[in-house]
Amino acid sequence: MPEQQVSAGKRFGFISTRFAGTDGVTLEARKWAQVLTQCSHECYWFAGRLDTPPDQSMLVPEAFFEHEENLWINDQIFGKNSRSRECTRRIQQMKDRLKDSLHEFIDRFKIDVLIAQNCLTIPMHVPLGLALTEVIVENRLPTIAHHHDFYWERDRYAITAVPDYLQMSFPPRFMNVQHVVINSSAREQLAYRTGITSLVIPNILDFSAIPPEMDAFSSSFRSDIGLSDDDILILQPTRIVARKGIEHAIELVRRLENPRYKLIISHDAGDEGMEYQEFLTDYAASVGVDMRIIARKVSPEREVDKQNNKHYSLWDVYQHADMVTYPSLYEGFGNAFLEAVYFRKPLLVNRYSIYVRDIEPKGFRVIKMNGYITRSVVSEVRKVLEDARYRQEVVAHNFDLGKKYYSYKVLQQKIEYILSSMFGLE
């Protein structure tokens, strides 16, 4: 902490379509809220789906990106070059209702600073973005727009009937808005496309906290998914999405040529469709790789269901992993990278562009691939898994770098910088 700090006691209002579950936006928002709370600020939540404290939250179902009215609107405006008057009317009506709710949220909790979490970035909910833009203008509240992935980074938004709305609100250009992006490429693209300057704040983890150790609950995980203590658990800790490059993890296990090596995928396809998941299942079977999708066993929090079946947290899964694969073709940053570093697991990384620009120069010791699995990659994987002394040296080095560059302390310093520009120093 700097000696001078912005005065505590500010009330922060987090805005998004959803703060629930384990999606990247929700996870990062929780981390921001934890840091702010540790600095004696208060945090409140506005979204269409919430699992936040009820007395600090305002649930507005229409703000959820899967609300039926918003789904109808999205069907009319993406993949099309023009929109009807009826579509415009319904966008404006939904915007006005959400705008009233946002004003109520600000008044009810006496919000001092708004934090827009990706809802002014990717147009999954155009009426919410428009509503928040107008609220920012009318209230003149200091606002942090935290951008995770922009619409120009997604093919699904390439053809649109709302270029006017995208230019207006995704993101808006106001003096009272501080824009935050998660990587240097996004900062450059935002400036190039809009003229907006921004601050890079990467994803972070609480490296000061001791990683949870295996206990009575988590110790049964391997047996619950049908593995023995002798099996080597190679973890792919992501959803099954084509850009994750999971076929490379299958190829790695195939080339290791040992039936003890098991590829475990923590999440399923979710709302991305089943085509890629079906491809991976067929591919793994055809090359003799034991791949297991354990999404039904993994929950945001530990729990035991009515049938007395355990559901493990992702943290429980990491405890059992012998190695983590991260062969992504593209990532905005890379939460799974940080999680593997935090849990001191050796890591295979495909050198996606953001990794090359923002992470690799920090000096992490990972097994690198450049779009495909080579003999040297397989050899390095065998070495890190079979040589315990070498493995401990590697993961300890990575943990120290993670603590230096991606800890809560780094986020705290960045937030203090933003708040000092908004409110001044004591």
CA proximity to 349, closest of 398, 300, 277: 398
Model confidence at 3: pLDDT above 70: no
* Integer CA distances (angstroms), 47 to 67, 111, 125, 166, in order: 12, 15, 11, 20
pTM of the model: 0.88
Tell me which DSSP letter residue 84 carries.
-
Model confidence at 86: pLDDT above 50: yes
Model confidence at 425: pLDDT above 80: no
Split at pLDDT 50, 70, 90, the class of 407 is: very high
Segments making up each domain of the chain, as ranges: 11-204+408-423, 218-405
| Backbone angles phi and psi of 393, in degrees to 5 | -65, -45
Q: How many CB atoms lie within 10 A of CB 103?
A: 15
Contact 186, 332 (CB under 8 A): yes
Tokens of 313: 């947290």
Contact 287, 254 (CB under 8 A): yes
251-296 pLDDT, tens per residue? 999 999 999 999 999 998 876 678 999 999 999 999 999 999 999 9
Tell me which DSSP letter residue 159 carries.
S
Contact 15, 177 (CB under 8 A): no
Model pLDDT, residue 23: 83
CATH domain 218-405 topology: Rossmann fold (3.40.50)
> Which residues lie closer than 8 Å to 155 by C-beta, 6 or more apart?
none
- Please give the average per-residue pLDDT across 40-50, as a whole number: 97
Model pLDDT, residue 334: 82
Query: Distance between CA 290 and CA 282 in Å, rounded?
Result: 11
- Please give the average per-residue pLDDT across 242-258, as a whole number: 96
Range in 15-24, 66-75, 220-229, 311-320 the model is least confident about: 15-24
CA proximity to 335, closest of 14, 4, 18, 27: 27
- Please give the average per-residue pLDDT across 161-174, as a whole number: 96
- Please give the average per-residue pLDDT across 95-119, as a whole number: 98
Model confidence at 223: pLDDT above 90: yes
- Span 11-204+408-423: which CATH code? 3.40.50.2000
Helices (H), 290-364: 314-320, 335-342, 353-354
Model pLDDT, residue 7: 58
336-389 pLDDT, tens per residue? 999 999 999 999 999 999 999 999 999 999 999 999 999 999 999 999 999 999
Fold match between domain 11-204+408-423 and domain 218-405: yes
Which three-class secondary structure string do you get for the chain? CCCCCCCCCCEEEEECCCECCCCHHHHHHHHHHHHHHHCCCEEEEEECCECCCHHHEEECHHHCCCCHHHHHHHHHHECCCCCCHHHHHHHHHHHHHHHHHHHHHHHHHCCCEEEEECCCCCCCCHHHHHHHHHHHHHHCCCEEEEECCCHHHCHHHCCECCHHHHHHHCCCCCCCEEEEECCHHHHHHHHHHHCCCCEECCCCCCCCCCCCCCCCCHHHHHHHCCCCCCCEEEEECCCCCHHHCHHHHHHHHHHHCCCCEEEEECCCCHHHCCHHHHHHHHHHHHCCCCEEECHHHECCCCEECCCCCEEECHHHHHHHCCEEEECCCCCCCCHHHHHHHHCCCCEEEECCHHHHHHHHHHCCCCEEECCCCCHHHHHHHHHHHHCHHHHHHHHHHHHHHHHHHCCHHHHHHHHHHHHHHHHCCC
